[in-house]
Structure formats: structure tokens, C-alpha cells
Amino acid sequence: MNQQGSNSRGKNVFILDSCVFTGLYNYSEFLGGSYTTQQVIKELKSLQAASMVEIALIKGNVREHDVSGVYVEKAREFAKKTGDLPFLSEADVSLIALALEIKERGGSPCVVTDDYRIQNLCYYLRIGFFSYKTRGIKSFYKWRKECPSCKALYSTTLKRCPVCSSILKTKLVEEERINNN
């Protein structure tokens, strides 16, 4: 496990991605003050994971938070800036939205996720994250789409060049090594 960028000030509020509920991993270390979102619960595929969440919710070990549209929009805007947006599901965006909301209220969110795109965005936003079963990202990446003819750069959300209609290619525009300490 690998924790990044976590705020030392105040107690961490853990925001749980689906990886915590899938598989038979012990997640007791995150229980108590942790949250997940309606979108994450909706995206759970296995019955086992769904019942695991249900029990955790009933026991009050995990709380479900309804993320507000304002923060979902903010999260999407930031994900456009890193280029991660087209690769994030509604559940992924909801986790970032919740983290933004908690941060804005003075809390210290820590997103527990194995998803590299979510981790990338957390790093960009200086939101703490915790890689659960994987080693976690080693670098931060920023992506754009490039037109092979005009060489102009566009958002990764576009498929074709707005000027010449060529099919855009994904291009890495920024890379920053992350120091693991």
C-alpha cells in the first residue's frame, strides 16, 4: 500500500472506491469515518461486493454521500485539464467530487483507489490518495489530443480536429515523477 499527498493537518476522511469492496480484502482500517458515493455502489458488479457495502452501511462503518452537481462539474473540469476525463466513469468522477467537497469544507480527504486515472487526478489536485492493492502511480501525466495535420493540441474529449476533421491522436504533454517517501 502506498499513500500519497495526504494532508498532515487533521484526520483523514477516507473515500472508498469499489476496489475496497470487491475481493475479500480486509478493509477494517478504513472503517469508521469513511464515505463512498451512490455512483460507486451503483457500479458494483458482484453480488458479494454489493452485500459487503450493504452490511457496512447498516453497521454505520461506511456512509453513503450524495455528491452535489456543483462538485461533479468541478471534478469534470479538472479531469479535462489533466486529460483523464474520457477514461473516468461516473463513479470515478463522483469520488473526486466528494474529495473536493470535503477539502473545501476544511477536511482532509484521502481517496482509497487502485485506479491510476483517479490517482493521477488526485495528485494534480493535491488530494491525498491511498493505493489499495497496487503500488500506485509513479508519475503524474497530462494528456492532450493532437491533430496529425495541423499539429494543434486539443482536449482529450475531442475525437476529430475541429479545423480539418482529421482523427486526433493522444499525446503526452507533461510528465512529473512522483517522489515516494
Residues within the interface to Zn ion (CB under 5 A): 147, 149-150, 161, 163-164, 166
State the nearest-atom distance from the C-beta of 69 to Zn ion, in Å: 34
Q: Which is nearer to Zn ion, 46 or 149 (CB)?
A: 149
State the nearest-atom distance from the C-beta of 24 to Zn ion, in Å: 50
β-pairing, 108-112 with 128-131?
Answer: parallel
**What is the number of other CB atoms lying within 10 angstroms of the CB of residue 91?**
20
Q: Which is nearer to Zn ion, 46 or 170 (CB)?
A: 170
Burial of 155 (0-12, 13-18, 19+ CB in 10 A): middle
Q: Which is nearer to Zn ion, 68 or 165 (CB)?
A: 165
Residue 179 per-residue DSSP state:
P
How far apart CA 137 and CA 131 sit, in angstroms, is 8
